[in-house]
Amino acid sequence: MRPTKTYHVRAQLSADYEVVRTDNILDLASEELVNQGRQPGNHAQRRFIVLDQAVDAIYGKSIRAYFDHHRVECRFLVLPGGEHRKVMDSVVAVATALDSFGIDRRREPVISIGGGVLLDLVGVATALYRRGVPHLRVPTTLIGLVDASIGVKTGINHGDHKNRLGTFQPPTAVLLDRRFLASLPERHLRNGVAEMIKLAIVRDERLFELLEEDGDRLVEERFQGRSPAGERVASEVLHRSVEGMLAELEPNLWERHLDRLVDFGHSVGPTIEMLAGGDLLHGESVAIDMAMFTTVAARRGLLHDKDARRILELLHRFALPVDHALLDDDVVRRAMADTVRHRDGRQRLPVPVGIGRAVVLNDVTQDELRSALRHNRAEGVR
């Protein structure tokens, strides 16, 4: 018998990037955006920029004027938005345009400016193109600002499944400019607040209280701080949301551990979102999921009824749905089966045990889920 030899390979992934909260990045006097990826010396500056179609309609002229002012040669690719566009065809469109541009693999970071859908699909494209080119994210929606842009995950939809294909692709940097929120439709503002509520429920009671106390002002002022009180609360809410999300993500950036509090709202929600076919925004599906598992926790006695009511009332206050006609026993069963497969054979269901506190369960039954659904509907939960 011939001797064997085993060679052991070990390597560690690393990520090193900055998330910068800054205002008015399109101001011609600002160099925040143009300095990202700038090379020393006289090397001509070039950028490949992917824009969401809706963003281009509102900010396209300002974006082009900004880069013209700073003498940066740019190629723009404008893509239509919507969850149904978050597919491989869009990724291929980005790759084809990158070929045409002739991007420098290391010195010319791709810039994506848009909502979470655009940032996700450009993230996939930059991870695959030449096995990885740098990319800079500029979110223009609230859900992008507090959630989709600041981690390392990317994803596109495949078949009937949300984010079934994806990568871990750290950005070179993320620039968070709340001024883009001024033009955001109110429904999309509320959609982003759902991810803030999620974080508040599982880890930040103060954030929850701020949303309770000043939620109407935040939406009315679109997080722009148009009054002194509005500025104080908008600044604190955005800070706590971004810092809290990063605190949850950073120790487990590559998801080596699957018991994740940030998965609250993401157990049944993704299935409902895809089945709704555009009728539900992502944050709205998260709200439906949070309502169900809040009721599960309350009916188990893990969560005081008063706190459960506060959670449901906060969702109502932001006009977020907590039920949907598609949500039935069969859909819940299929969603949970897919979730268990995704979470390595266990449920790993985060549920609240107080405002700002949560635990992970692995023994929730179909009867409990059915009971929670019926209870919410009987109580008139919308």
Strands 349-354, 153-158: pairing is unpaired
**Alpha carbon of residue 280 to chain centroid:** 15
Spatial separation of the C-alpha atoms in residues 275 and 300, rounded to whole Å: 29
Residue type at 112? S
Phi and psi at 375, nearest 5°, equal -60, -45
Q: Hey, what are 167's tokens?
A: 């990568």
Q: In the 8-state DSSP scheme, what is residue 57? A: H
Spatial separation of the C-alpha atoms in residues 246 and 375, rounded to whole Å: 35
Spatial separation of the C-alpha atoms in residues 382 and 376, rounded to whole Å: 8
Burial of 246 (0-12, 13-18, 19+ CB in 10 A): middle
Active site residue 306: no
Contact 352, 201 (CB under 8 A): yes
Spatial separation of the C-alpha atoms in residues 190 and 186, rounded to whole Å: 6
Spatial separation of the C-alpha atoms in residues 173 and 25, rounded to whole Å: 14
Ordered strands of the 73-79 beta sheet: 18-21, 173-176, 135-139, 110-114, 46-52, 73-79
| Annotated active-site residue in 5, 61, 86, 153 | 153
Contact 254, 13 (CB under 8 A): yes
Provide the annotated active-site residues. Answer: 153
